[in-house]
Each structure stands twice: as structure tokens, then as C-alpha cells.
Amino acid sequence: MKPAKKQCGNEPDDALETSMAMVASALSDPSRVSILCALMDGSAWTATELSVVADIAASTTSGHLNRLLSNGLIICLTQGRHRYYSLAGHHIAGLLENLMGVSMRVHKTLASSTPVYLRYARTCYDHLAGELAVSIYAFMLREKWLTADGSKLTSVGKMHFERMGVLLNARTRRKPCCPCLDWSERRFHLGGDAGSALLTLFLQKGWITRTPGYREVNVTDSGKAAMYRLFELKVT
């Protein structure tokens, strides 16, 4: 028995399927994936810088960037003579993190080759990820700073955030707070506006420092003291 053909009037469904296939195709090239991973540090990069990190020719980079632009994965900002590229938003970073998680499950041997410094602490676009972030999230759940599903800060959590000096955006259009699955740890870290605001505070206080051009972050001596004082975490 042959399956029934689609009835007329399914144009929206067809358009969505086609769009999904185009995005998947844009993600299918290792060089484009390298470009997207570089942009996950939340910074804006030039085409020349991206060609270096992806180890491809500048002319080739231009074609890859146009492909990513046309599929809404990145945006381009012009400043003077220079053009800067960045991810189209935190939702794209979330898509890439989820893709990394799926890839790690399919190729389990990759887990052992993940750089230790990236596993411990890195940025996930505009919030903290890695073992450190997962431990902070677990502490927040244990101490009832977050609701059980991680979708909201409790009154206790809001009080502690205020005491720390975390500035939350009351008018944000994104999720105020949400669990984000950490691709290397297989557990959740804090995402949403709360996760972004927490990373901003850590940077402003000098508790962590970023490695320019990379997702790696380092915890300073004052940061180690703060992590223990605030979250009962011993950072070596």
C-alpha cells in the first residue's frame, strides 16, 4: 500500500521543512562550524580573524560567511571600513551547544579529548558554562535560589542576586532564567538573562578573566575566594 500523497495547502509545512534543511546544510561544513564555535565567545570578529581560526583562505571565508548570513545564523555589523561578524543571538548559541551535546553522545571518544581548560570554565555566548557553571547551578538548586525546574529565581535567589550586585533586566524579551544543558558536563548550567547578568558581574568584579579570542575563562585569586564565599566551591 503506497503512502498517501500530501494534500494541497501544506505550503507552510513545506517551507518550514525546506528552511530547516537549509540551516542543517549550512551547519554541515567543518569550516563553517569552526567559525560559529569561534563566535560563541560572544565577540564580533572580522573575516580575516575568522579565516585564521578556521584555517581557511580569506576568499573561502567570504563564501562561508555569506552562507551563514543567508541562513540567519550570524549577523554582520559595519563600522567604518571594517565588517564584524557575530552570532545572530543567544538562541543560536543554544542551538550550537545542543548540537555539541548530541555530537558528544554519538562520538563518545571525543569526551576524553575535550580540552580540560574548556571543560572547567568557558563562555556559552553570554553566560558561563563548564564544570564551574554546573557546580554553581547545582548550588543554586540545593539552596532554593531557583525553582525546581530552573525556570525562575525564587525570592531567596533574587535576594542573593541583589546582594551580590547582579543587575537583572526586568524588561528582557528572552527567558529571565532557564537551565541550559552543558555539552561537556551533561548537566545544567544557568542560562537566560540571569545567567548573562551573573557572567557580567563576575567579569566586572574581576573574579574571572577572559582569554581574548577564545571561550576559555580563568578564575582569579579574588574569584576563588568569592566562589567559596558565595557558592561554597573550592577552586584550585
Domain assignment present for 172: yes
Q: Which residues pair with 218 in a beta bridge?
A: 209
Say if residue 43 is in the same domain as residue 79.
yes
Say if residue 81 is in the same domain as residue 125.
no
Domain assignment present for 28: yes
Q: What cell numbers appear for 87 in the block?
A: 552570532
Say if residue 123 is in the same domain as residue 223.
yes
Give the span between the Cα atoms of 62 and 7, in whole angstroms.
Answer: 41
Number of structural domains found in the chain: 2
Residues of the chain with pLDDT under 70: 1-13, 104-117, 213
Say if residue 65 is in the same domain as residue 140.
no
Q: CB–CB of 118/184 below 8 Å?
A: yes
The pLDDT, as a whole number, for residue 13 is 67
pTM: 0.65
- CB count in 10 Å sphere of residue 46: 13
Structural domain for 21, as ranges: 15-88
CATH code of the domain containing 20: 1.10.10.10
Q: What is the pLDDT of residues 194-229, one digit of tens each?
A: 999 999 999 999 999 987 767 889 999 999 999 999
